[in-house]
Amino acid sequence: MTQIAGLILLLLLITGGLYATGAEAVLTALPFELGLIAGTAVATLLIANAPSVAREAAGGFLRAFRGSRWDQRAYREMLSLLHELARRARTSGHVSIEPDIEAPDTSELFARAPAIQADRVMCDLICDAFRLMAIDPGDPRRINAQMKQFIDARVGERMRAVSALHTLADALPALGIIAAVLGIIKTMAAIDQSTAVIGAMIASALLGTFLGVFLAYGLVGPVAVRFGQVVEDEAAALETANSFVSAIAAGSAPRIALEMALSGIPAASRPETSALDRDVQAFRFSPALDRAA
């Protein structure tokens, strides 16, 4: 919500400044200049990046304003789910959780953690980890290495999108200058006009430089920074899941693995122990889940 409030404040200040100081010609040229710079920015994003990276970068705007999904509630869901999967695998064997890890979208157990069920990357990590433990239970280091490789690959994909937005922010001032140069060319073609006309045309041309700098440092740059923070939060959640899985693979009891995973969660998102205990108990003693097991 703070990002949305900041965006509204930014737009109010810039729009108010333009209306207070801009001539009518500048305000008339604003939609054209904005469309020109935004269009060229999208074109450069497409040219410089693979389609998947460009899509991820474009989606970064929404994710930056929506913020990280990994709050205390999401961490409680993830740890409760991991604890219950590990408990069932420990007491009844991995065959007891096979239907859940093979089809998490239809699993009653995963349905108890909707934030996790909706996160395809986290679901894949959890399911792959327990599948590996069932196939190769004797080598926890190999499982940890596989999970690290999985995390590095997924986070690397998202960080490329963050880098693409930073590159776009660096390019926007130059794109604004291009728009300004086009305006100057138009002005020079009308050099025989009155000074009032020439002045209005030059003001409109300089609007391109203003918009390029504004979009770079007022919008796209901050969005890239915030998007990077969201990606880091998601990476921390994946590392937390990996910490739990690695402890289980090494032979730790589910409760011990839970404590080990808790220690690596950022302080602002770390769930309270009492609330986590309640969620763990709710997962364990759900009648519907007991019947499914």
- Domain parsing of the chain, residue ranges: 25-293
Q: Which pLDDT does position 202 carry in this prediction?
A: 83
Burial class of residue 97, CB neighbours in 10 A (0-12, 13-18, 19+): buried
Does the CA dihedral 41-44-49-51 come out positive or negative? positive
Q: Report helix, strand or coil for 250.
A: coil
Cα dihedral sign, 144-146-150-155:
positive
Tens digit of each residue's pLDDT, the chain (293 residues): 677 888 788 777 777 777 776 666 667 777 888 888 999 999 999 999 999 999 999 999 989 988 888 999 999 999 999 999 999 998 888 888 999 999 999 988 898 889 899 899 999 999 999 988 888 776 778 888 888 999 999 999 999 999 999 999 999 999 999 888 888 888 888 787 887 778 878 888 888 888 899 999 999 999 999 999 999 999 999 999 999 999 998 888 998 999 889 888 988 889 988 888 888 888 776 544 444 44
Q: Which two tokens stand for residue 141?
A: 């280091």
pLDDT of residue 251: 87
Q: At what angle do helices 221-249 and 254-262 cross, to 10 degrees?
A: 150
CA neighbor of 60 nearest in space, from 143, 168, 149: 168
pTM: 0.83
Number of helical H runs and strand E runs in the chain: 14, 0
Question: Cα–Cα distances in Å, from 1 out to 4, 58, 68?
Answer: 5, 20, 11
Structure tokens at 105: 């979208």
Structure tokens at 67: 């913020």
pLDDT of residue 244: 93
Residue 53: the pLDDT is 94
- N- to C-terminal Cα distance for the chain? 40
Is residue 207 within 8 Å of 178, Cβ to Cβ?
A: no
Closest CA to 34 of 197, 219, 227, 191: 219
46, 57 Cβ separation under 8 angstroms: no
Closest to 171 in 3D by CA, of 62, 7, 45, 14: 45
H, E, C per residue of 110-150: HHCCHHHHCCHHHHHHHHHHHHHHHHCCCCHHHHHHHHHHH
Q: Quick one: tokens of 36?
A: 């020109």
